[in-house]
Structure 1
Amino acid sequence: MMEAAMIWNEPNNKSHWDPEIDPDWRLFAQMAILAGDAIAAADPGLTRVLGGISPIDPGFIGRMKDYGVLDHVDAVAVHGFPLDWNLWQIGEWPQRIQEIRSVTSLPIWVSEVGVSSFGAEEVQRWGLERTVALLKGKAERIQWYSLYDLPRAWEATTRHREAEGSSYYRHFYMGLLREDGSPKPALQEFIRHTPEIGLVQWFHFEDPRLDDAVAWMKQLGVTHLRTGLSWADSFRPGALDWFDRQMAALEDFDVTVTFCFTPEHRGLAPHHTSAPIHPEEFAEFCARMTERYAPGSRRCPAAADGYGSRPSMPLQPSRSSSDPSQPRP
């Protein structure tokens, strides 16, 4: 079920890695090297991906190369949202990919790309069509963000939140499905490109959308999915039971698991973006999860419970809406 392990998420974005603690990313590089080696020791055949960068910055990849990080991963990844947050036009996608190819020969994954329907749902549909046309054949993996809109009762994982103005609220409209599970116009466009184009869907701790998401993805023809397992969540009561349930539910897909989020009590600062006090602890978390869920290790203990077998569903609104009380990680 787990075909790849991604080391962190957007490490050059201050909403995911604190540059005041680690201004030259030296601590991140040390942590990434340890994690890459730990994942390889747990499953030598598993693809290791350097966390998708946002913004797309060849200088950051060059820095990781100089630190030796690229010797411990098998691919690098980029994230792009030119219609929402990036300061470049959507037609520049091929140029952005080429900029990364100029500094590394590793495969390049576009592990997160999307368009918000904040302004108009028709813009999202056009943006999906245009993005796929620009990226097909230019990157080794393309994954659309995301299946579901973010519930308005939750918070987007971003540093400044409402102070970002309309930029913040765009985070809540990235889904092919609205918060209530009903489809947007872009959904029909997405179906035209599966299984070649995959999905990104973050599942929060004990996320009530999990089973409906699995049914939707099977109906849409999705075969590869990117999601996450949170190091911070691993300290919650019942965390391993939830991880088992999530991964067993996703066993019919080729899953890229993103390992990220520092537990507050294990960071140099009490925040999920902080560099850890002991980077070896993050590497150990990556190894434990790889050993538990990667095919080259041992089978997910929850698989026998049947969570991975869900019937497909028609293209219609979800049977249950998201729980607005569900906390963010």
Structure 2
Amino acid sequence: MIEAAMIWNEPNNKSHWDPEVDPDWRRFAEMAILAADAIGAENPAITRVLGGISPIDPGFMSRMRAFGVLDHVDAVAVHGFPLDWNLWQIHEWPQRIAEIQAVTDLPVWVSEVGISTFGAEEVQAWGLERSADLLIGRAPRIHWYSLYDLPRAWEATTRHREAEGSSYYRHFYMGLLREDDTPKPAFELFRRHAPQMGLVQWFHFEDHRLDQAVRRMKELGVRHLRTGLSWADSYRPGALAWFDRQMEALAEFEVTVTFCFTPEHRGLMPHHTSAPLVPDEFAGFCAEMIRRYAPPVVRLDAAAERRLAAV
């Protein structure tokens, strides 16, 4: 079920990692190495991916290489939103991937690419087709962000604030489906790209959309899904029951699971973006999740298979 484990999400974006607590990312690098090694120790077959960076910054990737992080992962990832937040145009996608390929020999995944319908739903439909043309064949894994719009009653996990207008509200309109489960024009267009492009869908704790999301992804023919398991949520009452339900529901997909979010009481600062007090604790959470949802497959030799068949 789990094909890959992603270590954090957008570590070079202050929406997800506090640069005031860790200004040179040294603490992040230590934590990422410990997590990668813990994942590999539990199941060497799992692809370990450095959390997708946003913005796409070869300087940050070079820093991770200098700290030794890239020696402990199997792939790196980037996120790009050129029609919404990035200061580059959509046709520059090949160039942006090449910038990262220039500083590492590891495969470069595009673990988030998406377009908001804040301005017009037709823009998303055009952008999906153009993104597919530019990315399919250039990245070994592509995940479109996202399946559902973010419910308006929730908050966006972002450094942007409501007072900033479009920069904030664009987060709420990234789905192929509206909040009420009705499809946007890009929904049907995505169907023909599903074999080559996966989806991203973050599920909040006890998310009411889980079952309908599974139905919709099967309808689209989705094979690859990226989602998350929150270290912070693991301290909630009933956390393991929710994690079990979520992962069981997603069992038919090839899942990239993203491990991230610091519990407030385990951070240097009481916030989910903080570096942890004890980096080994995050590594322990990653190991526990792999042990629970992606234990290694024991393959029997031919003689053992014959003995088992005879029982």
The interval holding the TM-score normalised by the smaller chain is over 0.9
Whole-angstrom CA distance in 2 between matches of 1:121 and 1:127: 10
Partner residue in 2 for 1:109:
109
Structure with bigger gyration radius: 2
Q: What SS is found at the alignment partner of 1:33?
A: helix
Establish whether residue 51 from structure 1 lines up as the match of residue 51 from structure 2. Answer: yes
Matches within 5 A, 1:150-165: 150-165=150-165
- Provide, for residues 222-279 of structure 1, a one-character-per-residue CA deviation record: whole Å limited to 9, x for no partner: 0010000000000000000000000000000000000000000000000000000000
Q: What SS is found at the alignment partner of 2:51?
A: strand
The Cα of 1:295 is off from its aligned counterpart by 4.5
Establish whether residue 129 from structure 1 lines up as the match of residue 126 from structure 2. Answer: no
Partner residue in 1 for 2:216:
216
Whole-angstrom CA distance in 2 between matches of 1:110 and 1:203: 20
Query: Retained in 2: the 8 A contact 1:42–1:297?
Result: no
- Provide, for residues 191-230 of structure 1, a one-character-per-residue CA deviation record: whole Å limited to 9, x for no partner: 1111211000000000010000001101100001000000
Q: What SS is found at the alignment partner of 1:52?
A: coil
Whole-angstrom CA distance in 2 between matches of 1:176 and 1:224: 16
Establish whether residue 241 from structure 1 lines up as the match of residue 238 from structure 2. Answer: no
Matches within 5 A, 1:295-310: 295-296=295-296
Whole-angstrom CA distance in 1 between matches of 2:96 and 2:209: 34
Matches within 5 A, 1:46-125: 46-125=46-125
Report percent identity of matched pairs: 79
Q: What SS is found at the alignment partner of 1:228?
A: strand
Q: What SS is found at the alignment partner of 1:83?
A: coil
Query: Retained in 2: the 8 A contact 1:233–1:263?
Result: yes
Give the TM-score taking structure 1 as reference length: 0.90
- Provide, for residues 53-83 of structure 1, a one-character-per-residue CA deviation record: whole Å limited to 9, x for no partner: 0000001110000000001100000000000
RMSD of aligned Cα (Å): 0.9
Amino acid of the structure 2 residue aligned with 1:19: P
- Structure 1: which 4+ aligned runs deviate by more than 6 Å? none
Whole-angstrom CA distance in 1 between matches of 2:239 and 2:161: 27
- Provide, for residues 126-177 of structure 1, a one-character-per-residue CA deviation record: whole Å limited to 9, x for no partner: 0000011011111111100000000000000012321332110000000000
Matches within 5 A, 1:137-152: 137-152=137-152
Gaps of 5+ in 1: 299-329
Gaps of 5+ in 2: 299-311
Partner residue in 2 for 1:269:
269
The Cα of 1:297 is off from its aligned counterpart by 6.2
Give the TM-score taking structure 2 as reference length: 0.95
Whole-angstrom CA distance in 1 between matches of 2:267 and 2:160: 20
